Structure 1
Amino acid sequence: MGRRQTIDRGALLDAAERVVLRDGAAHLTIDAVAAEAGVSKGGVLYAFASKDALIDAMLARVYAAFDRIADDYLEKAGDTPVNRVRAHVEASRTADPDASDRAVVLMASFMRSPKYREGALEYYRGLIDRLDTTTPAGRQARVALLATEGAAMLRGCGFYPFSQDEWDEIHQDVITKLLS
């Protein structure tokens, strides 16, 4: 009697991210993930019933990492529309740089599909639509969110290699000039 083999979903998600980052989203297949992870195709399918389930899990992991940081911030600061933007800025500032960059690449890779765009649309709509943009504070919070996302896209897509000091300065400027 053999021991039951366990499949590490996290390791498979890591392998899937490496495939997307190295080869592009068009090359993300169950076979490619299996080869990258050193497991059988059946092992990947045991953990993720389909490629769509794999992509869903990849994006959910990206969102969850940012949500943990934002939730911690909101627990301390209180949950208001402007604090939600502050929490998002804080999550952007403090998230692991590699994870943030992978998040941008993954979202950019999969957002062409209406199914995967819906999650991002819901997230940003939830942030922006709660703001009272008839007030200066609401408009400043909206600009703070856009500035933060713009910086993340520039860094994540490799358009500008911000140093850690620059990254911290940008976020500090967003907080002090737009969210104070």
Structure 2
Amino acid sequence: MARPRTIDRERVLKCAEQLVQRAGASAMTLDAVAKEAGITKGGLQYCFGSKEDLITALIDRWISAFDNEVEEYTKADKSPSGQARAYVQLCSQIDDATSARMVGLLVTLLQSPSHLQKIQAWYAKWLGKNLGDSDEARHIRTMLFAAEGAFFLRSIGFIKIPETEWDAVFTDIKKMVPLAKAGGTSVK
């Protein structure tokens, strides 16, 4: 008796991302994703259920990847300002794949507003960390908004900017919040 074939969810999600990057979010049908992944549509539905569930899995994957990278950057400094600097650092590292992923995410959200709540909750987590109203807290929020704004403008193609200028922008954004002391307060 042959062993049942298992489906690698991460590989399927990667194939779905590649499909969106190459052909746009509107091309992401269950048939197209199954074909891209080399599996049957039934196998895809067994693994994910529906297109909505597949989109949810993609969003969860993107959020988790970003949060895991922030965790890596903040091993030495878990303060709010350390996390903000990690967030900004990740926003500064945009490449073609990230840009295509963001465009796909935005188009997906436009087609499926129910997923917007998940993204809103993720941003609320980042921007609502109960930082208070201190100068540092206001600088952290401004720093996150600045990084996010620059990231989106570049990733969706609204601006073209040379790498040296891009790096300089993010160097300036990172300077908005001073390094934290060992006790968790900022150096002024």
TM-score (norm 1): 0.83
Larger-gyration structure (1/2): 2
Shift of 1:134: 3.3
1:92·1:148 contact (CA, 8 Å) conserved in 2?
yes
More helix by share: 1
Which of 85, 97, 101 is the aligned partner of 2:95?
Answer: 97
Q: For residue 42 of structure 1, what is the aligned residue in structure 2?
A: 42
One-letter amino acid matched to 2:32: A
Aligned partner of residue 159 in structure 2, secondary structure: coil
- Classify 1:162/1:44 alpha carbon distance in 2 versus 1 (closer, same or farther; 3 Å): farther
One-letter amino acid matched to 2:122: Y
Alignment identity in percent?
Answer: 34
By relative contact order (CA 8 Å, sep 6+), the higher-ranking structure is: 2
Partner deviation per Cα, 1:42-80 (whole Å, 9 max, x = no partner): 222232121112111111111111111111233310233
Q: For residue 109 of structure 2, what is the aligned residue in structure 1?
A: 111
One-letter amino acid matched to 1:52: E
Matches of residues 112-151 of structure 1 in structure 2 within 5 Å? 112=110, 113-130=112-129, 132=131, 134-151=133-150
Unaligned runs of 5+ in 2: 179-188
One-letter amino acid matched to 2:48: F
One-letter amino acid matched to 1:111: L
TM-score (norm 2): 0.80
Unaligned runs of 5+ in 1: none
**Distance across 1 between alignment mates of 2:147 and 2:165:** 13
Shift of 1:133: 6.2
Q: For residue 159 of structure 2, what is the aligned residue in structure 1?
A: 160
- Classify 1:6/1:44 alpha carbon distance in 2 versus 1 (closer, same or farther; 3 Å): same
**Distance across 2 between alignment mates of 1:127 and 1:57:** 20
Shift of 1:8: 2.3
**Distance across 2 between alignment mates of 1:117 and 1:57:** 14
| Bigger mean CA offset, 111-120 vs 157-166 | 157-166
1:7·1:47 contact (CA, 8 Å) conserved in 2?
yes
Q: For residue 183 of structure 2, what is the aligned residue in structure 1?
A: none
Shift of 1:130: 2.6
How many equivalent residue pairs? 177
Shift of 1:170: 2.2
| Bigger mean CA offset, 131-140 vs 12-21 | 131-140
**Distance across 1 between alignment mates of 2:143 and 2:106:** 21
